[in-house]
Amino acid sequence: MFRLDGKIALITGASYGIGFAIAKGMANAGATIVFNDIKQELVDKGLEAYKVEGIEAHGYVCDVTDEDAVNALVAQIEKEVGVIDILVNNAGIIKRIPMTEMKASEFRQVIDVDLNAPFIVSKAVIPSMIKKGHGKIINICSMMSELGRETVSAYAAAKGGLKMLTRNICSEYGEYNIQCNGIGPGYIATPQTAPLREIQPDGSRHPFDKFICAKTPAGRWLQPDELAGPAVFLASEASNAVNGHILYVDGGILAYIGKQP
Ligand code: NAP
Ligand code: GCO
């Protein structure tokens, strides 16, 4: 029941990072992998990286915030690959700026990629999922779907909204055998969090690196590949009765007060 053979999975923003790791896991479970990125050079790099893993992926250039481009992408995928069975709304950005110093345009940009785009892409794939009689949508949420912290106001607002968009897609389309769930990763070692792990000029660890390790019961950053199993579960028949759920894959951060300094 955990296999994805015969299923077509679109993972947005999956040339590298969490999307790439989730795509690898889904490919190993039998899915056909389709991904997009904003730049052709990144799509090409991604195709190479999938090939190294023995995965013949399908890559497309598409900005997920552009509704016309997304609708054209889904039509092209349906023509060239087939109807999308599994959608992972993974593409995302973050801007770490104190709120009172953040421009409204910067706030809007984060909301556009992290919240508006999952709406746009989900809206584009749901009609064919309804026709096909099933579908799986997985939204990549965050610790910031539940918690705030300094400098990430736009990101937290977007990821909090994404949690409720997940629940609303579940509510509105569950009757068509479409399950929409979220994955809430903890702190994962990817390019997006690299600035939080930079070695300081004096050779010491970044204060945030030490902070996160104290907040994670296992005392470490998580790896992208640790998200693959939960994603395969939510993409498979094994989760057909799971809907509107945010599965936190955080190593226990949300359960833990943190190690005493
Ligand atoms: P990442 O390394 O920054 O990768 C993000 C990917 O999304 C990149 O391939 C990026 O492409 C793509 N992307 C950004 N804007 C796009 C757009 N408008 N259209 C298409 N693709 C776009 O991030 P990550 O750490 O893998 O995170 C992936 C997802 O997990 C994000 O939604 C993030 O918020 C979430 N998340 C991350 C963590 C973590 O600790 N890393 C934890 C919780 C949740 P470009 O390179 O061209 O920009
Ligand atoms: C940050 C980090 C986090 C992670 C992730 C945690 O600046 O706090 O980037 O937001 O990306 O979302 O779940």
Q: What is the pLDDT of residues 4-45, one digit of tens each?
A: 999 999 999 999 999 999 999 999 999 999 999 999 999 999
pLDDT for the residue numbered 125: 98
CA 113 to the chain's CA centroid: 11
Q: To the nearest whole percent, how much of the chain has pLDDT over 70?
A: 100
192 pocket-lining for ligand 2 (C-beta < 6 Å): yes
96 pocket-lining for ligand 2 (C-beta < 6 Å): yes
pLDDT for the residue numbered 39: 96
Checking if the pLDDT of 1 tops 90, the result is yes
- Confidence class for position 261, pLDDT limits 50, 70, 90: confident
Ligand 2 nearest atom to the CA of residue 196, by list position: 7
- The catalytic residue positions are 155
176 burial (CB, 10 Å; 0-12 / 13-18 / 19+) is middle
pLDDT tens digit sequence for 178-224: 999 999 999 999 999 999 999 999 999 999 999 999 999 999 999 99
Average confidence (pLDDT) over 163-175: 98
Question: In angstroms, what is the span from residue 55 Cα to ligand 2's centroid?
Answer: 29
pLDDT for the residue numbered 27: 98
Domain boundaries, the chain: 8-186+222-253
Ligand 1 nearest atom to the CA of residue 16, by list position: 9
115 pocket-lining for ligand 2 (C-beta < 6 Å): no
CA 182 to the chain's CA centroid: 9
Amino acid identity of 189?
A: A
Cα separation, 250 vs 146, whole angstroms: 12
Ligand nearest to the CA of 222: 1
CATH of 8-186+222-253, one of 3.40.50.720, 3.30.1330.20, 2.60.40.60, 3.40.50.970: 3.40.50.720
CB proximity list for 11: less than 8 A, separation 6 or greater = 19, 22, 23, 26, 33, 34, 35, 88, 90
Mean model confidence pLDDT for the chain: 98
147 pocket-lining for ligand 2 (C-beta < 6 Å): no
Q: CA-CA distances (angstroms) from residue 240 to 122, 138, 169? A: 18, 13, 15
32 pocket-lining for ligand 2 (C-beta < 6 Å): no
Cα separation, 55 vs 48, whole angstroms: 9
Cα separation, 163 vs 200, whole angstroms: 34
Amino acid identity of 95?
A: K
Ligand nearest to the CA of 92: 1
- Confidence class for position 109, pLDDT limits 50, 70, 90: very high
Contact 149, 156 (CB under 8 A): yes
Question: In angstroms, what is the span from residue 13 Cα to ligand 1's centroid?
Answer: 6
Minimum CA distance residue for ligand 1 atom 8: 13
| 9 membership: H or E segment, kind and range | strand 8-12
Question: In angstroms, what is the span from residue 195 Cα to ligand 1's centroid?
Answer: 14
pLDDT tens digit sequence for 54-77: 999 999 999 999 999 999 999 999
Average confidence (pLDDT) over 124-142: 98
Minimum CA distance residue for ligand 2 atom 4: 187
Q: To the nearest whole percent, how much of the chain has pLDDT over 90?
A: 100
pLDDT tens digit sequence for 238-247: 999 999 999 9
